[in-house]
Structure 1
Amino acid sequence: MTTSLKPDDTPTKSAPRRMPLWAKVLTAVVVVLVVMFAGIRLSLLPGLRDFFGTETHDRTGPALLESIQDMSRYDAASGNFQVVVDLEKDAKFLPDAIRGTRTLYVGAGTVDAYVDLGKVGEKDVTVDADRTSATIRLPHALLGTPALDVDRSYAVSKQRGLFDRLGDLFSDNPGGEQAVQKLAVKHISDAAEESELTTRAEANTTDMLKGLLRSLGFEEVKVTFGT
């Protein structure tokens, strides 16, 4: 005896259940944490880190000389400076563990003080008839551009929130230190302005010129600074 299915008795397939939104977010967070902890484990296991390590190849072409400039300044003094930069960035309405960074950075650099001898004209040099006495007027010493020594500068600590760590995963320069380096250069420049570096440069320039002219036979040499 055969049975027939009525229209109402036709078997139907149940629709697949969709994953709730909160479950998707939780899954994504778990995946990110797994990746982060995996990175920590690799750093703790030198063998695995070397196995998955990368090799660096320098294929840079030769540097091209673009221009040459004649220098007329006398670098008379150089100051070595060091500053500890404490840079903190907070996000409104979010705790630091979620969004925010704080970096402690030790910046070391140098600033040169120089006298521009190219600005000395004929009217700034006076020599007596016997060529035994000379008076030279020079422009005041100036400070050069601060130079950060990357070999002596380093980050002491870096603290980043969860969102900032996630952003580093998609960044071309994760954990970049450009901001703290710029602050270090600024503080070094300010310290050089408040120092006696230009005074030392003018004194050294005076000693240099007196020694040079006396070796040429001048008995009295006077050096002044000003416009």
Structure 2
Amino acid sequence: MTMQYDYRDGQRRGGGAFFGVLLSIALGALALGVFVHHARSGLAGRLVSMITGRPMTIVTAPDVIDKIERLSRLETVVYSMDTVVEGNESNPVLPDALAGDKLLMIVHGQTIAGVDLSQLKPESVQITEGKDGRTIHLTLPASQVFLTTLDNGKTRVYQRDTGLLVKADPNLETSVRQKAQGELQQAALTDGILDAASKNARATVTAMLEGLGFAHVDVK
């Protein structure tokens, strides 16, 4: 007895099954890629983390605002100055030698400026996604002077002249100190402390955002 087998039909069935498996694998890989790309948080995010073997972290605008606000008052510039400030009181009738009160004060102080990041608004942050990565545009609050102080250890009365007919005014030194603070702050403003504070704040925040994974960072 001779038995004959027709292999042609079996080959066709085997080839169709093979290509079907390849198609299923390709479609599965495509679906997985789409899922990983679009997964953001929740269960999907956790599944992506399990599949890729690394945490899936997507930074949103509220996340950015929260992280920046934690910096609070970002002090970026300290302006120091040494100067001599004069204060005097005169009598409209008598000469200073009789009724005047004058003092010279050597002053050392500093003005601190920066950006109050707690004033950052949600509309100040815009995040977009493109083929070459995520982009963030952020507008910082305006820079401002936080504080102007005198160093009491280095500030002192250098000279004081009081008229023969009057006593030294105990409030004169206080008023001269206030005057010195005003002059120090004005000098810092004239020298561009606010521009420097904005520039330094932009550099600091830019570095932080780049560390969060943004491909393109635009901070104004």
Is 2:102 the partner of 1:102? Answer: yes
Deviations 1:104-146 (A, max 9, x none): 1112211111111112122111112366211111121011231
SS in 1 for 2:139: strand
Map of 1:1-16 to 2, 5 A cutoff?
none
Quote the residue 2:111 is aligned against: 111
Match of 1:163 among 162, 165, 173: 165
Aligned-partner Cα distance in 1 for 2:85–2:184: 11
- Determine if the alignment matches structure 1 residue 145 to structure 2 residue 141: no
Q: Which residue of 1 aligns with 2:4?
A: none
Render the CA deviation track for 1:7-54: whole Å, top value 9, x for unaligned. Answer: xxxxxxxxxxxxxxxxxxxxxxxxxxxxxxxxxxxxxxxxxxxxxxxx
Q: Which residues of structure 1 form unaligned runs of 5+?
A: 1-69
Deviation at 1:193, TM superposition (A): 2.0
Q: 1: distance between equivalents of 2:93 and 2:117?
A: 57
Larger radius of gyration: 2
CA displacement at 1:222 relative to structure 2: 0.3
Q: Secondary structure at the match of 1:144?
A: strand
Instruction: Report which of the two has the higher share of helix.
Output: 2
Aligned residue among 210, 214, 218 for 2:214? 218
Whether the aligned pair in 2 keeps the contact of 1:83 and 1:187 (CA below 8 Å) is: no
Q: 1:153-177 CA distances to partner (integer Å, 9 max, x unpaired)?
A: 111110111223xx35xx8x5x861
Residues 145, 103 of structure 1: CA spacing in aligned structure 2 closer, same or farther, 3 A cutoff?
same
Q: Which moved more, 1:203-212 or 1:130-139?
A: 130-139
Greater Cα offset, 116-125 or 129-138:
129-138
Instruction: Tell me whether 1:192 sits opposite 2:188 in the alignment.
Output: yes
For normalisation by structure 2, the TM-score amounts to 0.62
Q: Distance in 2 between matches of 1:123 and 1:182?
A: 40
Give, in whole Å, the separation in 1 of the partners of 2:183 and 2:93.
30
Paired amino acid for 2:212: L
Say whether the 8 Å CA contact 2:87–2:172 is kept in structure 1.
Answer: no
In structure 1, distance between residues paired with 2:112 and 2:159: 30
Q: TM-score, normalised by structure 1?
A: 0.60
Q: What are the ranges of 5 or more consecutive residues in structure 2 without an aligned counterpart?
A: 1-69
Deviation at 1:191, TM superposition (A): 1.0
Off by >2 Å, runs of 4+ in structure 1: 129-132
Q: How far 1:86 moved relative to its partner?
A: 1.8
Please name the residue that 2:92 is paired with.
92
2:127 corresponding residue in structure 1: 127
Using the alignment, how far apart are the partners of 1:154 and 1:117 within structure 2?
36
> Do 2:88 and 2:172's aligned partners in 1 also have CA atoms closer than 8 Å?
no
